[in-house]
Chain A
Amino acid sequence: MATKASRSAARLMISPAVILLLGWMIVPLAMTLYFSFLRYNLLMPGMEEWTGLTNYRFFLTDPAFFDAIWNTLLLVGGVLLITVTGGILLALLLDQPIWGQGVVRILVIAPFFVMPTVSALVWKNMFMNPVNGIFAHIAKALGLQPYDFLSQAPLASIIWIVSWQWLPFATLILLTALQSLDSEQLEAAEMDGAPPLKRFWFIVLPHLARAITVVILIQTIFLLSVFAEILVTTNGGPGTASTNLTYLIYVQSLLQFDVGGGSAGGVVAIVLANIVAIFLMRMIGKNLDA
């Protein structure tokens, strides 16, 4: 169907997008890579010099780096565990015949649309605050000592907040996948006397496998970059107890003005994200063929 004219027109129409995205990708990446080999501090302008791999050596041997990597893994892993398990359970529940399904769905999805700074501050002040938070009020009513969540268990609290934001996403995707399950298959299994747990394990879960993978991969991409929630709740502290890789690089480059070190960290973050991205892209690519 495509004529020569429409082919060249097509090429012309796609070029702005391609050029912009190409520039978007290459220019900052090249700059980050270049800066990462420089001794470059914004407080000492004009003193930039080539230092080879020094920034990487400093960054990778900094104890804060290991804390940050560990915290990043815990944060991503913890949120994934909570949201995927919770998402499966919730999707199964919402897939049942219930009264007011539409309204419940709306209630469950809502947290996803709350901006990160709001959800973090609401949890921090209205719920986790050791004096006036709801949890403190409940503890006092029960005669218990209020718990200072954000200073006693900063990372766990942040995992909780971020999970609240992402549970709707996992639920929504898994529910969508669940609704495409052929109910005849389940009914046949039911008639053959398969108990609910077996039906779930051998029919529902394999059917959801693909959607679960997609949820894990997409969330991982976003969770590696959690930033606002940390900035407004703990500032990465106490110490580095809740500093993830993204936050560490932010501190290094914009608070300590160490452009070189921050850039080296940026390169490390890009490499880590790419490992996840490769798997995700492969899955999406497969679907494009189908």
Chain B
Amino acid sequence: MARAVTPRRKALTTAAAWTVGVLIFFPILWIVILSFKSEGDAIRTPIEVLTSAWTAESYATVQERSDYFKHFLNSVTISVGSTLLGLVIAIPAAWSMAFVPGRRTKDVLMWMLSTKMLPPVGVLVPFYLMFRDFGLLDTRSGLVFVLMMINLPIIIWMLYTYFKEIPAEILEAARMDGAGLREEILYVLTPMAVPGIASTVLLNIILAWNEAFWTLNLTAAKAAPLTAFIASYSSPEGLFYAKLSAASTMAIAPILIMGWFSQKQLVRGLTFGAVK
């Protein structure tokens, strides 16, 4: 809204907005600060913390003691793997619903969405038992599959809304020029859909990275991603503030940066197009 306002009013609203913004962001800022302090300094009063010496020793200790990098790789494998696997299944499905809609397309879309409404705890027991029986407990492949299925409706739905925006005439023109179905998808649709696909990938990696129900319940030491690794600090170990902070900072930094780039897609992906 481009309304003319007095500079004084703008200064006041700016001050208010920045105050609120910094307050909301403060817990994140604080763990970043604590992560660069020694264990002894990290538990002091805020002013003493700020004036104490800076050190990066906690980062080294976290890696050394708990093999942080392994859990980081687990997180990467699980979130990227589940998203890419989801894409392979979702792109053809979204393509066909967007460009060859039938009478029941809308019902199919709505039904797919409805599978997302199932509370995970309602199917915790069967999954736990199936995972146990198939030897999938505490494996990355098991989690890749589960997270892929959880996010599949969102992936399909997002791709569908992006594909919908591509004018069908362009595809038709390509067909007229003798392009087969394969060429049509590969050389005409895909290049135009890349931005949409990229946003979908981004948002779903974020969602999978932060997923904390299945990752906590289906993993132990071996396949645990960062969500589960951090949860191990809930014991008295959590009182080692500097180490907890260092581990947390490393766990959230990559996703925070990705998240800032995907603000707009977030609205679209999480409201299923109900708010644009």
Query: What is the interface of chain A, defined by CB distance below 8 A to chain B?
Result: 1-2, 6-7, 9-11, 13-14, 16-18, 20-21, 24-25, 27-29, 31-32, 35, 90, 93-101, 103-119, 121-127, 129, 131-132, 134, 137, 140-141, 164, 167-169, 172-173, 176-177, 179-181, 183, 186-187, 210-211, 214, 218, 221, 224-225, 227-228, 231-233, 245-246, 249-250, 253-254, 259, 262-263, 265-267, 269-270, 272-274, 276-277, 280-281, 283-285, 287-289
Contact = CB atoms under 8 A, between A and B. Distances in A.
B122 A111 contact: no
5 contacts: A97-B10, A98-B18, A108-B25, A167-B24, A245-B121
Given A97-B13, A262-B125, A277-B114, A118 B251 contact: yes
B40 to A, nearest CB: 11
A121 B238 contact: yes
A139 to B, nearest CB: 11
- Per DSSP, chain B at the interface is helix
Given A21-B153, A127-B27, A98 B13 contact: yes
Interface stretch (B56-64, B191-199, B205-213): B205-213
B72 interface: no
Contact of B234 (A233, A249, A265): A233
A288 to B, nearest CB: 6
B234 to A, nearest CB: 4
B96 A11 contact: yes
A93 B20 contact: yes
A125 B125 contact: no
B260 A109 contact: yes
Contact of B18 (A100, A110, A121): A100
Interface in B226-268: 226-228, 230-231, 233-234, 238-239, 241, 244-245, 248, 251-252, 255-256, 258-260, 263, 266-267
Q: DSSP class of A's interface residues: helix, strand, loop or mixed?
A: helix
Interface size class of B (residues with CB under 8 A): 35 or more
B27 A285 contact: no
Contacts of A31: 123, 125-126, 129-130
B152 interface: yes
Contact of A173 (B27, B30, B92, B275): B275
